[in-house]
Amino acid sequence: MKKILKCNLILLLIISNFVYSQNFSKLGSPFIKNYSIKDYKANPQNWGVIQDERGVFYIGNTSGILEFDGIEFYVGGSGEIGYFAIDSIGKLKYVSLNRKLPRFERDFNDIYKVISTEKGVFFVSSYKIFHYFNDEIKIFATNSKANFAYDIYGDIFTINRYRGIFVIVDDNLALLPHSDIFSDHSGRIVMLPYGDKQILIATEKEGIYIYDLKRFYKEGIRQFNFYDKNIKKDILKKFPTEIDNFLEEHSLYCGEILDENTYAFGTLSNGIITMNKDGKFLQVINKKIGLASNTVLNLFKNKDKNLLVSLDRGFSIVEIKIPITLFSDLHGLDGSIYKAQKYKNNLYVGTSSGVYRLSKDTSSENKYISHFEKLKNVNTNCWDFIEFGNCLFGTQEKGVVCIEDSSVRLWHNLAEVIYCFGEKEMFPNHIFTGSADGLEAFEIKKNKFEKTKLINRYIFPEIRRTVRKIVG
């Protein structure tokens, strides 16, 4: 008996074969690798994960900096600003920058974010931003919590809970015109590049906006003039999307660009949600489909274009680059998988327990996570499918069924088990079946206005062994 996948069963979909009006690549789940405190033996919370050109991971953990080479973890210090450098013997060591700060500036709160740019490195704390450049440190007082900070087109933007969005210009914090609508009642704010010198501003409680930063560019050169009274309010526009309610309901916390057309957002209570550039919902990646936790604290796309996900309990690597996704028992499938078939904008799966169809149910329970529904009247092995006439034929233990949308009817009852179907152009009105007793052929009447009917059945007495595959 040929080898089959047992539970947990996995159905792999190669995207190029299944992309048509329903995008099954976004309905399936990506491959996810989870790491827990059993692996790195430190605090469960991780606030950031990055990867260097050697493939080594650095994790910003509540206990300090973790270094992970894919095999072992190493724990570094905390309560510092500084960097890692290779010493004279090729060993990585930590270099503190605290000594470059005045003594009265060394007692700062946790560093929430580190941003490396061509203009230096910015360390963001609760009420101050430290700018390290040319071996010197400059300090910007934000007068409000500044743990929201972003590098957009080479400039550093930060959010003042009471006044709006500020940008660092000529060693000063300048208010972005008409950004005063963003305040404490907006909740968490995420800023990402969007299109031609525009900024996507996602808020936890007030939806998503687009800020047209290119109005400050002339002949490709940035010329910020934030005191120009002629800057119109339409520089900032609301951008309604299909994920606005999700971000508010599940508390937006972080974001990342996956490619030029795809954006990912992490939430505090339901994992990750993705949308395209037009604001259309694509996919949810959460605990239901394999993420270690629903509380996402940071997202980072690494050099391999995979997504590194920092969680309140561990961290995960989500393989978003490969053109394969999976469906499993987490999506409602049961039994050993034998065959998947697309038919009339539906995806059907034959298993050892029957036939399943990818559901189109959009109720609140199933709105974001795709799932399969089991079709009635088939409770035994379904080994194969074939599209013929106006029907999708499926095998069962003793006979052939006809599947139309979500309904199943017995098309022909047989004494033996049918394993496979086949067809050949030189016999246009026939389908062949392989069974435990050999090879048979069915002559069928095809008419798009009538049900597909059986005319004759042929048995090949010289082939009376089990047939598992028919090649046309």
Report how far residue 202's alpha carbon sits from residue 186's, in angstroms, rounded to the nearest whole number: 9
Lookup: tokens for 160: 């003042």
Amino acid (1-letter code) at residue 205: K
- CB atoms < 10 A from the CB of 372, how many? 21
Report how far residue 173's alpha carbon sits from residue 152's, in angstroms, rounded to the nearest whole number: 15
For tokens 């951008």, what's the residue? 239
CATH number at residue 305: 2.130.10.10
Question: Does residue 6 form part of some domain?
Answer: no
Q: Which of the pair, 463 or 278, is modelled with greater confidence?
A: 278
Residues 131, 66 share a domain: yes
Most confident of 319-328, 354-363, 450-459: 319-328
Full-model pTM: 0.80
Report how far residue 301's alpha carbon sits from residue 242's, in angstroms, rounded to the nearest whole number: 23
Report how far residue 324's alpha carbon sits from residue 13's, in angstroms, rounded to the nearest whole number: 6
Question: Does residue 21 form part of some domain?
Answer: no
Confidence of residue 364 (pLDDT cuts 50, 70, 90): low
Residues 335, 249 share a domain: no
Q: What's the mean per-residue pLDDT of the chain?
A: 81
Of 302-311, 346-355, 460-469, the least confident: 460-469
Asked whether the predicted pLDDT for residue 108 surpasses 70, the reply is yes
Q: Which residues contact 17 (CB under 8 A, 6 or more apart)?
A: none
Asked whether the predicted pLDDT for residue 448 surpasses 60, the reply is no
Q: How far is CA 208 from each of CA 189, 213, 257, rounded to the nearest angstrom?
A: 9, 16, 15
Q: Which residues contact 104 (CB under 8 A, 6 or more apart)?
A: none
Of the candidates 11, 32, 37, 116, which has an alpha carbon nearest to the alpha carbon of residue 334? 11
Residues 387, 352 share a domain: yes
| 3 state DSSP class of 194 | strand
pLDDT cut 70: percent of the chain above it: 83
Residue 11 φ/ψ, nearest 5 degrees: -110, 115
pLDDT, one tens digit per residue, over 39-84 is: 777 788 878 877 777 777 777 777 777 776 555 544 444 557 887 7
Geometric angle at alpha carbon 363, from 357 and 369, rounded to 5°: 60
Q: Which residues contact 168 (CB under 8 A, 6 or more apart)?
A: 122, 129, 131, 140, 155, 156, 158, 174
pLDDT, one tens digit per residue, over 193-208 is: 998 899 999 999 999 9
3-state SS track over 314-341: CEEEEECCCCEEEEEHHHCCCCCEEEEE
From 323, 343, 366, the end of a domain falls on: 323
CB 97 within 8 A of CB 83: yes
In which domain, by residue range, is 333 found?
328-459
From 323, 357, 372, the end of a domain falls on: 323
Of the candidates 214, 215, 220, 218, which has an alpha carbon nearest to the alpha carbon of residue 231? 215
CB 255 within 8 A of CB 263: yes
pLDDT at residue 325, rounded to an integer: 83
Residues 371, 313 share a domain: no
From 300, 323, 346, the end of a domain falls on: 323
pLDDT at residue 70, rounded to an integer: 55
For tokens 């037009």, what's the residue? 278
Per-position b or e across 386-409, b if 16+ CB within 10 A of its CB: bebbebbbbbbeebbbbbeeeebe
For tokens 């709006």, what's the residue? 164
Of the candidates 168, 63, 68, 158, which has an alpha carbon nearest to the alpha carbon of residue 113? 158
Report how far residue 175's alpha carbon sits from residue 154's, in angstroms, rounded to the nearest whole number: 17
For tokens 């972003």, what's the residue? 150
| 3 state DSSP class of 1 | coil
pLDDT at residue 396, rounded to an integer: 84
For tokens 């799966």, what's the residue? 349
pLDDT at residue 446, rounded to an integer: 65
pLDDT at residue 292, rounded to an integer: 94
Question: Does residue 271 form part of some domain?
Answer: yes
Residues 344, 308 share a domain: no
Question: Does residue 93 form part of some domain?
Answer: yes
Asked whether the predicted pLDDT for residue 290 surpasses 80, the reply is yes
Residues 369, 293 share a domain: no
Question: Does residue 421 form part of some domain?
Answer: yes
pLDDT mean over 111-117: 83
pLDDT mean over 362-386: 80
| 3 state DSSP class of 18 | helix
- CB atoms < 10 A from the CB of 230, how many? 5
pLDDT, one tens digit per residue, over 119-140 is: 888 888 878 888 999 999 998 8
Strands of the sheet containing 354-358, edge to edge, are 337-343, 346-351, 354-358, 372-374
Residues 281, 138 share a domain: yes
Residues 351, 217 share a domain: no
What's the number of domains the chain is made of? 2
pLDDT mean over 136-145: 81
Beta bridge partners of 3: none
Residues 448, 372 share a domain: yes
Geometric angle at alpha carbon 318, from 245 and 86, rounded to 5°: 120
Report how far residue 15's alpha carbon sits from residue 20's, in angstroms, rounded to the nearest whole number: 10
pLDDT mean over 319-345: 87
pLDDT at residue 71, rounded to an integer: 52
CB 213 within 8 A of CB 200: no
pLDDT at residue 462, rounded to an integer: 64
CB 276 within 8 A of CB 264: no
pLDDT mean over 301-318: 91
pLDDT at residue 104, rounded to an integer: 83
Confidence of residue 112 (pLDDT cuts 50, 70, 90): confident
pLDDT at residue 464, rounded to an integer: 61
Confidence of residue 447 (pLDDT cuts 50, 70, 90): low
Residues 200, 62 share a domain: yes
Geometric angle at alpha carbon 39, from 33 and 42, rounded to 5°: 120
Question: Does residue 191 form part of some domain?
Answer: yes
Structure letter (DSSP) for residue 375: P
pLDDT at residue 5, rounded to an integer: 42
Question: Does residue 39 form part of some domain?
Answer: yes
Residue 290: half-sphere exposure toward Cβ, Cα within 13 Å: 20
Residues 333, 319 share a domain: no
Residues 426, 278 share a domain: no
| 3 state DSSP class of 384 | coil
